[in-house]
Structure 1
Amino acid sequence: MPPTLTPWTTSSFHDTYLEVLHATTTSAEYDTSSRGNDSAELTNVSFRITDPRDRLPFLKRRPVNIVYNIAEALWYAAGRDDLDMIGYYAPGMGNYSADGKALTGTAYGTKLFAPDGQGVRQWDRVLDLLRADPDTKRAVLGIYRPEELAVENNPDVSCTVAAQFLLREGQLHLTCYMRGNDAYMGMVSDVFAFTFLQEMAACQLGVELGHYTHHVASMHVNTRDAKNVRRLLNEANQEGYVRPAFTPPVMPTADVTLVLDTVLKHEELLRANQVQHTPDSVAATSLPEYWRQVLLLFEAYRQIKYTDHAVSAELLDVLDPGYQWLVRHRWKNRMPQFEANT
């Protein structure tokens, strides 16, 4: 008999991440092999995070790439599908492009933020609907498209089917529906991106952030990652283990569209190595502190990509503590204390 699962409710994604990995690897219902990927599968998995800002796991054996996570969310918000931007932060994404220039299924931004035939973005239609009818059940962002399966050997089919906003008692909740999710790798990025967009929508609507719920038909761990998952779970189960505790930054309610335009302009210049930023130059942008931190992360990554010296200690010192922890553990050999070895 397959295990009986009760949907998890936790305050942070860190705790949920570990629970999902444990359940998928110890209570798998099926062993599957799709498109050459052997995996352990658990079907119809659901969880809820009561504080969607607490969207990152902090594990030394799995230090997430916070720069990529933010870049992906901004790539979506910009309505882009090109490899030029996202490929800079994740070169491996090119493996999923049919033409070596753009992505299709993975490029959720073109479905959410690109104008349709009438010049209106799906995102704006949904937010306008919530403003007009706060109790609506129709505020659904459609992502998966049937024509994706019409392309033979399509290397990039949307994993996410849809995302639905519910505005209840002044709080904006988001529910995400996925056909499949890689619990070890993909789920981290997916939860980050959708809770980021949820917070962005709450800011645009001027309402409080509610809870985030994640539904997955096929939650799986690929066999090639099983050893890493066991090591990760062993880390968290060690006697005396204490999860690093950081207060998540809060997105300001300033004009999000205007701020995003400014941030994306700076991101493009940093990505092309046409500008260099310092804490002082970032402060001079007059952006809210939340978005200054984003530019500091992009500058740290620019230094990692384009130089052979350690990331500026001055820059690291002014990073948000949680971001600093992730950067230091993700790129250990590029931190100031390792400069002599680089």
Structure 2
Amino acid sequence: MLTATTFRSVEGAYVALLRLATKQPEHRIDARGNSALEVLGVSFQLPDPRQRLPYLAERKVNVVFQFAEALWFLAGRRDLEMIGHYAPKMRASSVDGVHVGGSAYGYTLFTPADGAQHSPFDQALELLRHETDSKRAYLPVFSAQELADRSNPDVACLAGLHLLARGGHLHMVCNMRANDLDCGLLSDVFSFTVIQEYAAIQLGLALGTYTHTIGSAHVNDHSANRVRRVLNEVDNRPAPTTFLFPAMPQNTTAATITEVLTHEEALRTNEIRYSLDTIQRLPLAPYWQQVVMLFELYRQIKSDEVTQVDPHLMAALDPGLRWLMERRWPACAAAAAGGAQ
């Protein structure tokens, strides 16, 4: 039986693919001015999709953006106003300066098509509720229409997501037409496994495996220095840094996502400031309170431009989230150091 290479977490897959593409590339390409090393047709599997974050000091993952993007997808949005706040570089891919194009996967997945009453995502869930072993719950994202405009700056990298209910578990197979291994891979896996976990909850199923397949897996030349630093870190560290990512609450619904995004918008627009006590009093499960904490910390970093964020918020963060925030932003590291004294 042929199976994808299995990794305990996304970090193992990320490192293995970086090593493969840079040490054993099959091709050198220069698509649209982006020189890169490339391998074709690779895949990996995560037995526990919740282990969706890498803990690498040289990579400094922006976990605030990753949660923001996952929520943006789940809400079916395509506005640049929100996602551009966390990833300003995405503005360069917008044709009208207002909306995101092919990269707005959530808009395709969670918004009803013209004339339809339900979104493709909801239709897939309804299918699985009535036909447990169905193979038809495939959610296409890449559209053939995207091939018609060769000047389109934002063509969907995601071909589609396949939901498969088997043995009381919801498995997902993700098909990517292409993946930038150093940048896009990590945020894609984070968001897609969040969507998978959310779908499993709506269906009353346990979380199954996540399989990620890539047509063109590449490392762009402009990422080469960071990739070398990441691989050097992995080769010279005594042991991996590990944290267990918590499970999404079983009572999570679309209303939960809307509620979290209400707080996100208030913080993003700097209309409100939250203390730890205020966040812990919100009618949200601790899991989602943690996400609001991240947005408040980001507000302090970007809007208040502080040299040290609220140490009480840092101390209340899940250990893995705290580790990532400390390494990404000096203001968070300063708060952690001050709180330890």
Bin for the TM-score computed over the shorter chain: over 0.9
Contact 1:112–1:123, Cα closer than 8 Å, also in 2 = yes
Q: Per-residue deviation at 1:261?
A: 1.4
1:153-192 alignment runs, 5 A limit: 153-192=151-190
Deviations 1:106-125 (A, max 9, x none): 00111011122222111100
The CA distance in 1 between the partners of 2:294 and 2:203, in whole Å, is 27
Q: Residue 182 of structure 2 aligns to a residue in which SS? A: coil
- State which drifts further: 243-252 or 327-336: 327-336
Match of 1:230? 228
The CA distance in 2 between the partners of 1:19 and 1:283, in whole Å, is 39
The CA distance in 2 between the partners of 1:220 and 1:245, in whole Å, is 26
Match of 2:217? 219
The CA distance in 2 between the partners of 1:255 and 1:20, in whole Å, is 33
Give the TM-score taking structure 2 as reference length: 0.95
The CA distance in 1 between the partners of 2:45 and 2:94, in whole Å, is 32
Contact 1:300–1:311, Cα closer than 8 Å, also in 2 = yes
Please list every run of 5 or more consecutive structure 1 residues that lacks an aligned counterpart in the other structure: none
Please list every run of 5 or more consecutive structure 2 residues that lacks an aligned counterpart in the other structure: none
- Let me know the Cα RMSD of the aligned residues: 1.6
Deviations 1:47-100 (A, max 9, x none): 001110000111000010000001001101111111100000011110111111
Q: Residue 245 of structure 1 aligns to a residue in which SS? A: coil
Match of 2:250? 253
Q: Per-residue deviation at 1:334?
A: 4.7
Contact 2:103–2:155, Cα closer than 8 Å, also in 1 = yes
Alignment counterpart, residue 102 of structure 1, candidates 99, 103, 109: 99
Q: Residue 58 of structure 2 aligns to a residue in which SS? A: coil
Contact 1:312–1:336, Cα closer than 8 Å, also in 2 = no
Match of 1:281? 278
Q: Per-residue deviation at 1:332?
A: 2.0
Contact 1:66–1:327, Cα closer than 8 Å, also in 2 = yes
Q: Per-residue deviation at 1:258?
A: 1.8
Q: Per-residue deviation at 1:339?
A: 9.9
Contact 2:74–2:106, Cα closer than 8 Å, also in 1 = yes
Match of 2:318? 320
The CA distance in 1 between the partners of 2:138 and 2:4, in whole Å, is 22
Contact 2:327–2:333, Cα closer than 8 Å, also in 1 = no
Letter of the 2:212 counterpart = H
Correspondence 1:265 to 2:277:
no
Q: Residue 73 of structure 2 aligns to a residue in which SS? A: helix
Match of 2:20? 23
Contact 2:105–2:141, Cα closer than 8 Å, also in 1 = yes
Alignment counterpart, residue 13 of structure 1, candidates 10, 23, 41: 10
Alignment counterpart, residue 305 of structure 2, candidates 305, 308, 315: 308
The CA distance in 1 between the partners of 2:146 and 2:204, in whole Å, is 35
The CA distance in 2 between the partners of 1:162 and 1:235, in whole Å, is 33
The CA distance in 1 between the partners of 2:287 and 2:336, in whole Å, is 28
Match of 1:78? 75
Alignment counterpart, residue 292 of structure 2, candidates 295, 301, 324: 295
Q: Per-residue deviation at 1:308?
A: 2.2
Q: Residue 175 of structure 2 aligns to a residue in which SS? A: strand
1:112-131 alignment runs, 5 A limit: 112-116=109-113, 117-131=115-129
The CA distance in 2 between the partners of 1:119 and 1:172, in whole Å, is 24
Letter of the 2:297 counterpart = A
The CA distance in 2 between the partners of 1:338 and 1:261, in whole Å, is 31
Letter of the 1:35 counterpart = R
Q: Per-residue deviation at 1:241?
A: 2.5
The CA distance in 2 between the partners of 1:42 and 1:276, in whole Å, is 47
Q: Residue 99 of structure 1 aligns to a residue in which SS? A: coil
Q: Residue 36 of structure 2 aligns to a residue in which SS? A: strand
The CA distance in 2 between the partners of 1:90 and 1:281, in whole Å, is 27
Deviations 1:174-217 (A, max 9, x none): 00001100001110000001001000101111110000001101
The CA distance in 1 between the partners of 2:244 and 2:66, in whole Å, is 18
